[in-house]
Amino acid sequence: MQDCIFCKIAKHEIETEMVYENDLVVAFKDMNPAAQVHILIVPKEHVTNFYELASNSRKALIMGAVTDAVKAIADQFETSDGFRLIVNNGKDAGQTVFHLHFHLIGGEVLGAKLV
Ligand code: AMP
Ligand code: ZN
């Protein structure tokens, strides 16, 4: 989608610290980290939010790719003992970028920390 920052990142048109990529998703460091490890996992296809993803069975393939990404990133950053996966769905939940993304945070004791 034109003018979507995460579409541009997914197409490598904007530079980020990319940490993982597979056929359907990319993952990169959040520019404003909420924890020692804060990675965003983003589908390459533009999907506005999790609610939209759930409404389309073809897009549901993305969840398998997200699962692979989570495991690979947890291993890469040695957070497999404890990490949190967060989706802010919609503005009332704090979503600010309207291209679906999963926040993986960890690398420290998280307590009640959210993003
Ligand atoms: P959310 O509030 O759930 O929509 O999260 C959006 C996240 O994207 C925030 O944590 C931002 O810090 C992060 N973010 C926005 N633009 C960029 C960017 N260009 N590179 C890395 N992280 C970004
Ligand atoms: Zn997009």
CA-to-CA distance for 98 and 101, rounded, in angstroms? 9
Q: Which atom of ligand 1 is nearest to the CA of 5?
A: 19
Q: Please tell me the pTM assigned to this model.
A: 0.96
pLDDT per residue as tens digits for the range 4-47:
999 999 999 999 999 999 999 999 999 999 999 999 999 999 99
**Residue 101 annotated as catalytic:** yes
Token pair 């040695």 is found at 78
CA of 40 to the centre of ligand 1 (A): 8
Q: Which atom of ligand 1 is nearest to the CA of 95?
A: 4
Q: Is 112 left (phi over 0), alpha (psi -120 to 50) or beta?
A: alpha
CA of 109 to the centre of ligand 2 (A): 32
CA-to-CA distance for 14 and 28, rounded, in angstroms? 12
Tell me which CATH code domain 5-106 carries.
3.30.428.10
